[in-house]
Amino acid sequence: MSRARDTANQINRVNSSAADATALTVDSSENVLVGTTSTDQSIAGHGFKPDGFAYHTRNGGAMLRLNRLTSDGDLMQIQKDGTTVGSVGNKSDDLIIHTTTANHSGLRFGEGYIFPVDNTGNTSDGVHDLGLSVGRYKDFYLSGGIHLGGVGSANKLDDYEEGTWTPTGEGITYAQAFGSYVKVGRMVMVTYNITFPSTGNTGGAQINSLPFSATVGNAYQSGGYITASSGGSAVETLFLTVATNRLIFRDSGNNNKNNNEFSQDFIQGSAVYTTD
């Protein structure tokens, strides 16, 4: 009982220094309340419970400020059983959040960058992974590129794209024309399915309007095959020259093919080339 009376006296002294306002309350459950008389955490104020739990509620403002003077270092240490397992600190104007366990990692937030740090908060280069085989991120959105295997311009992948395109003929209109492409960096792979009309046109057999202009000087590429429109088994291996914006069909003797040689024939194939 004397302990309770002592506590009550301490509260009275606090109350008397705060005019008619209640500055601090200790309720029957030994909760210490500041700025409020309720343990309802939706009401502004501070609460300290006897089991070590504390809460802070404020309407429209920050609830905690940690201000380290003079030197860089920890602003907050997080412990488990008396051992520090994590830290929130600063280096210059950068915020650093990291674990303190050996071989663990963290992040440093700077001016226009976020990069990994080790368990002491120092810069870590080429050591830590982003995600795991059993803990993967879903999508990765970039407005620029990603460097793979190095930091030079040759290691930067800045484009991936896939889609469809419509092959067009030279001097003829294909009875059927469909194409698709995949572009990875400067490398482009196109596939095509075309059917020639019945024609006596002797113009060069070629596919125009590539989805991306090719770098001049590409080597011959495998061009696929043709089969007679009657469904016969006649098959001819073709070769391609990849020009700036077209694929030119050639035979095994490196001779250009003409449209009339493919009258009513179906051709499908693919080509890989580089673009600027």
Average pLDDT by stretches of 10, the chain with 276 residues: 46 50 86 93 95 95 93 94 94 94 94 93 92 93 90 90 96 96 93 92 93 72 50 65 87 87 88 87
pLDDT at site 79: 94
pLDDT at site 23: 81
pLDDT at site 229: 45
pLDDT at site 41: 94
15 contacts 25 by C-beta, under 8 angstroms: no
Q: How far apart are CA 25 and CA 18, in angstroms?
A: 13
**CA triplet 248, 254, 256: central angle to 5 degrees?**
40
DSSP one-letter string for 153-182: GGGEE--EEEEEE--B-SSS--SEEEEEEE
pLDDT at site 171: 94
Sign of the torsion formed by the C-alpha atoms of 230, 231, 237 and 241: positive
Q: How far apart are CA 203 and CA 172, in angstroms?
A: 9
Q: How far apart are CA 164 and CA 183, in angstroms?
A: 11
Of 200, 202, 206, 204, which is closest to residue 244 (Cα–Cα)? 206
pLDDT at site 178: 96
